[in-house]
Structure 1
């Protein structure tokens, strides 16, 4: 195939195929290129392309590099490039034994952790890890090797510099890593796949939802139109379901058509619900807080001077970090006590993405929804006490799979959705004191 990349010979391919150039076979292939938004893992092709020495992957939803997918290339691979994807972790055994490896390039990903031994015992000529969560400017940029900033460093010195940067793990990283693969396989891959499948539809809905920024009236009308569309779709699906159910008594093919129609209806319902949430998230408020540290809650943001009377509002917390070297990403506890907060802010994960503990006490909170703990993947403790909560959505705790403590004491909850706690395998403390007396 056409050569588009440096140090790739004319036998570079983008997919496993039986159509080789004249006089060529699988054993002649030395490079593999993947540029596909529906690739979720590196294909295992070591038994087909036995002489592969270059792997180039770009623009994929790939999150986890697994040793088993490249293990067969440890005696031939020279250049390994995965850029513009979603890689989050480089573990210590990924490149062990790759004695011929000269280039590793994982720029423009979402890497927040690199094991201290990830690049040890390698004779690399090029190592590029810039533009990641743990190396971007403002978070301790370590640059690339070699470059003008690190030209005086040896490879071992540069690897030591990486280990000393913000790529080093937080205290609870061992537990997170032990469950990371299951978390990615079960949760992230399916979500990303659905998003990619309906990308065009979401883009259209996003364009329509931007009209809500013009005025509150237009936003409310868009939501009403979306609700009407949802009801019409439900009515059409009920008719379609009844019609197909009657026909499928004597036709297996019509039974398959019914199942497909039901799946499409579910997706459309999800997209309309997403549109509604986008419209409501246009409202935001500013909140002040005091940053402090103690032995019990660690580095905390204690909120004051904030009022939230509408659902799905975004809050921008401002305050002076003490000491000044601390940043929002260092906050592990958020406390909201005795304030008029009837709904949980929907954007906590954006400002405090490493949050481990959330306390909302005596604030008049009314309900818990599926957006309240969105993307708070590190959250271990939720204490929402002495409020006015009467209901909880079934998928409220879907993203907080590491949760250990849940305290909903002194609320007005009369019942809980079935299987609401099924995905909380680490939950060890559950408090419901006086939930009907509040």
Structure 2
């Protein structure tokens, strides 16, 4: 059976998610969240509708800025009541100083450490009302500054035992209304947060369906970190060696200059 190139093209688009680029429209304002004492500049997205099954790439943001403000001043970024499936791409290049991200009731089902890699400054992360089922061990590996983590009203049935081990600054957590059950599923006191973390470390929220002896992605990250560390040490040694070589070159040049002067002096002394 023969297939035309057009048929094959249609099949490819049916199998693989399409990446959609778009300009978002922001409602810019000074805003405060209950977990943050100070107000700050926020973009509330108004126009992400239905990207079910597709990966949306945010190219730029438009809207009426408060006088004296720009996208570089935006600290809070929120999306509500959208159909996303996947975490939007390129947010970090539009808003470079985000400390709070909130995606509410937006049918987000998948979230990876690579999605969150650009947000090292992230302090508050709100994901309530999405059908997220799994929190993997490496999810927050790039976000050690998270202080507030809101995951209520999802479908979480599995949290890897070390998933929260990177969040040493975590002060608020909310896991209400998920498949997993805890003795206490929300806390805003550090000692109580640590109790929830302890329950997770002890396997309180683990499903055999999602448990593996080794997380391949985590292994890749660890290997990459080891390689990076080796490369950095290697570069430092090369730099030090180059400096030493340059020092020897300077010594040799100085000795050659001295030898040249001595030779010239001897020649002068030999002249009648």
Taking structure 2 as the reference length, the TM-score comes to 0.55
Q: CA deviation at 1:145?
A: 2.1
CA distance in 1, matches of 2:183, 2:132: 18
- Judge conservation of contact 1:130–1:141 (CA < 8 Å) in 2: no
- The runs of 5 or more residues in structure 2 that have no matched partner are 1-27, 46-59, 217-272
- What corresponds to 1:119 in structure 2? 164
Equivalence for 2:101: 55
* 2:44 paired residue among 14, 38, 53: 14
Q: Distance in 1 between matches of 2:87 and 2:43?
A: 14
The CA deviation at 1:80 is: 0.5
Q: What's 2:174 paired with? A: 128
Name 2:136's counterpart in structure 1: 91
TM-aligned CA deviation for residue 5 of structure 1:
3.6
Give the structure 2 partner of residue 65 of structure 1: 111
Cα 1:172/1:77, change in 2 over 3 Å: closer
Does the CA contact (< 8 Å) of 1:9 and 1:31 recur in 2? no
Deviation at 1:141, TM superposition (A): 4.4
Match of 1:28 in 2: 73
Root-mean-square deviation (CA, aligned residues, Å) is: 2.8
Q: Distance in 1 between matches of 2:150 and 2:210?
A: 28
Alpha carbons 1:126, 1:145 under 8 Å: kept: yes
1:134 touches 1:165 (CA, 8 Å); kept in 2?
Answer: no
CA shift for structure 1 position 134: 0.9
Q: Give runs of aligned pairs for residues 10-409 of structure 1, distance below 5 A.
A: 10-15=40-45, 17-19=61-63, 20-44=65-89, 45-74=91-120, 76-122=121-167, 123-135=169-181, 140-146=182-188, 153=191, 155-164=193-202, 166-170=204-208, 173-174=211-212
Matches of 1:68 and 1:170, distance apart in 2: 24
Tell me the distance in 1 between the aligned counterparts of 2:61 and 2:129. 25
Q: Distance in 1 between matches of 2:83 and 2:186?
A: 29
Bigger Rg, structure 1 or 2: 2
Note the residue ranges of structure 1 that are not aligned, 5 or more in a row: 179-438
Change (3 A) 1:165 1:116: closer
Deviation for aligned residue 1:88: 0.5
Compared with structure 1, are the counterparts of its residues 171 and 60 closer, same or farther at alpha carbon in structure 2 (3 Å cutoff)?
closer
Task: Give the secondary-structure state (helix, strand or coil) at the position aligned to 1:98.
Answer: coil
Q: Note closer, same or farther for the CA distance 1:146–1:100 as it changes in structure 2 (3 Å cut).
A: same
Partner of residue 290, structure 1: none
**SS of equivalent residue, structure 1 residue 73:** coil
Q: Distance between the aligned counterparts of 1:70 and 1:81, measured in 2?
A: 13
Measured in 1, the distance between the counterparts of 2:142 and 2:113 equals 11
Which structure is richer in relative contact order (CA contacts within 8 A, separation 6 or more)? 2
Q: Secondary structure at the match of 1:12?
A: strand
- CA spacing shift, 1:54–1:22, aligned 2, 3 Å: same
Tell me by how many angstroms 1:43 deviates: 1.5
Preserved CA contact (<8 Å) 2:74 2:97:
yes
Distance in 2 between the 1:26 and 1:32 partners? 11
Q: d(CA) in 1 for partners of 2:210 and 2:122?
A: 34
- The Cα shift of 1:57 comes to 1.2
